[in-house]
Amino acid sequence: MSSPMEISLQNPPDAELCKPNGVSQTEPSPFSPVEKVLVSVEVCLKPSSTARIADVQTAVERMLEKRSLTYTDGPVPVPIDDPFLLENVKRIRICDTDECLENHEILLFWQVKPVVHVFQLNEEGPGEELSGDELLSSFNEWVLPAKEFDGMWESLIYETGLKKRLLQYAASALLFTEKGVDPCLVSWNRIVLLHGPPGTGKTSLCKALAQKLSIRFSSRYSQCQLIEVNAHSLFSKWFSESGKLVAKLFQKIQEMVEEESNLVFVLIDEVESLAAARQAALSGSEPSDSIRVVNALLTQMDRLKSWPNVIILTTSNITTAIDIAFVDRADIKAYVGPPTLQARYEILRSCFQELLRTGILSSQEHDQLILLSYASLREKLNAVEAQAPLGPLFLSKLLLEAAEVCEGLSGRALRKLPFLAHAASTSPYNCDASKFLSSLIETAKRELSEL
Ligand code: ADP
């Protein structure tokens, strides 16, 4: 078996890995071939749309050709003079360019080959196919791309390049399988393990990754499902029944993967509880049934591995090396650490922008409501003019102070912080942005003191 790849989500990757090959900012010579950068453009259809995917794809490609602008992450307005797109398309979004580019780089239209992915969100919510037996609260099932996970990928903030690398590893694994690469000659698995402290977004990242892949591979796989298994709940509830339930669940997954146009993601959360259960059973503090459950799970995973259209995503809250048989099976192991200063700033900035958008926060002086990105703020603060009064930088500077204070808080805690600060505010219906930030800093200090 190949040794697992360890990706540290803390250390930026080799910059060359992400850099668009051969891209220069000057106009190309008409005689030299330009290596274009592939940029994903995601097109979400309206729930009411019945248009053919291929027609929408062609229409968007044509529209992008005419657009002749730069490519940066974010929405592209649906042109008002295109009734077909207006009727069918909910939104168009350029994705993941920020994961490839370094500061100040921009992608001009002639450097880019847009890859258009058209999809419609499934609005049915988690499936209840397993109802009728005790499986229900241990397993959840979604048809992807699902409405619940819309925007989740974008909302997760890590170091530059990290999400892209994860996406590329998973995409390569699917491609190798699809092309029939002989596993005796080149070995790889489709098992991903994300490990790190609680609240760092591991489970969300797995779900968001599944959602992304379902969109990116929609032309190859017409159906896509995510099954979420909470390993912990398997052991806490049904010691004697668990073995049978695991077998039953994997039987169901097996049926799904037998359909080759299905892409199936199996998310097993908190896998460390497998090791804990095994340990407890060996020491006699838990029924030996749990050993059988762990073994059943591992055996079933080994069986599933041989299917080309399944990806197993797992998470663990254990931060040190996890020494279980299971880990050996993971091909991609990635450590997801607490958010860095930049990530903390960007997480808080996104919270703040949401509160501004919804009118919960406001300011008497409108120009104070500018919140710069971390990179722009750093650049401005380093510049000579920074000696001058802060002016419109005021709010961003205060946000940076808040992000600095929040060192040690998880992403989950950070996303709750603005709510807690608001709840503690004396004037909840008329919240001034800068006062709110000061109260956020106080709330963060209090939260940290209680850790
Ligand atoms: P874990 O599985 O590591 O315990 P979760 O996936 O349950 O973490 O994270 C809970 C929530 O915390 C996420 O849905 C997200 O809102 C927030 N969160 C955690 N880490 C981040 C991050 N790096 N960027 C943005 N949000 C984050």
CA-based radius of gyration for the chain? 24
Q: Is the CB of 57 under 6 A from ligand 1?
A: no
- Percent of the chain whose predicted confidence (pLDDT) is above 90: 36
| CA nearest ligand 1 atom 23, residue | 157
Decide if 278 contacts 294 (C-beta within 8 A).
yes
Q: How far is CA 112 from the centre of its chain?
A: 24
175 pLDDT higher than 50: yes
pLDDT of residue 169: 84
Decide if 359 contacts 422 (C-beta within 8 A).
no
Compute, in angstroms, the gap from residue 314 CA to the centroid of ligand 1: 15
DSSP assigned state of 198: T
Q: Is the CB of 338 under 6 A from ligand 1?
A: no
Ramachandran category for residue 63: left, alpha or beta (phi over 0 → left; psi -120 to 50 → alpha) = alpha
d(CA 292, CA 302): 15
pLDDT of residue 139: 78
Q: What are the residue ranges of helices labelled H in 5-123?
A: 15-18, 53-67, 83-88
User: When comparing pLDDT for 425 and 50, which is higher?
Assistant: 50
Compute, in angstroms, the gap from residue 338 CA to the centroid of ligand 1: 10
pLDDT of residue 200: 95
Compute, in angstroms, the gap from residue 273 CA to the centroid of ligand 1: 20
- C-alpha closest to that of 310 among 149, 191, 415: 191
d(CA 43, CA 222): 16
- Lowest-confidence segment of 292-306, 343-357, 400-414 by average pLDDT: 292-306
Compute, in angstroms, the gap from residue 410 CA to the centroid of ligand 1: 8
Decide if 257 contacts 294 (C-beta within 8 A).
no
What value does the mean pLDDT take over residues 403-420? 95
User: Hey, which residues does 17 pair with through a beta bridge?
Assistant: none
The burial class, CB within 10 Å (0-12 / 13-18 / 19+), for 182 is: exposed
What value does the mean pLDDT take over residues 16-42? 58
130 pLDDT higher than 70: no
Q: Is the CB of 315 under 6 A from ligand 1?
A: yes
pLDDT of residue 223: 93
pLDDT of residue 13: 33
Compute, in angstroms, the gap from residue 441 CA to the centroid of ligand 1: 20
Mean model confidence pLDDT for the chain? 81
The SS3 assignment for 86 reads helix
pTM over 0.95: no
Ramachandran category for residue 262: left, alpha or beta (phi over 0 → left; psi -120 to 50 → alpha) = beta
User: Hey, which residues does 146 pair with through a beta bridge?
Assistant: 122
Q: Is the CB of 415 under 6 A from ligand 1?
A: yes
372 pLDDT higher than 60: yes
The SS3 assignment for 201 reads coil
pLDDT of residue 11: 35
d(CA 369, CA 367): 5
Q: What is the ipTM of this complex?
A: 0.99
pLDDT of residue 288: 64
205 pLDDT higher than 70: yes
Instruction: From the CA of 152, give the closest atom in ligand 1.
Output: 14
User: Cα dihedral angle (326, 327, 328, 332), rounded to 10 degrees?
Assistant: 130
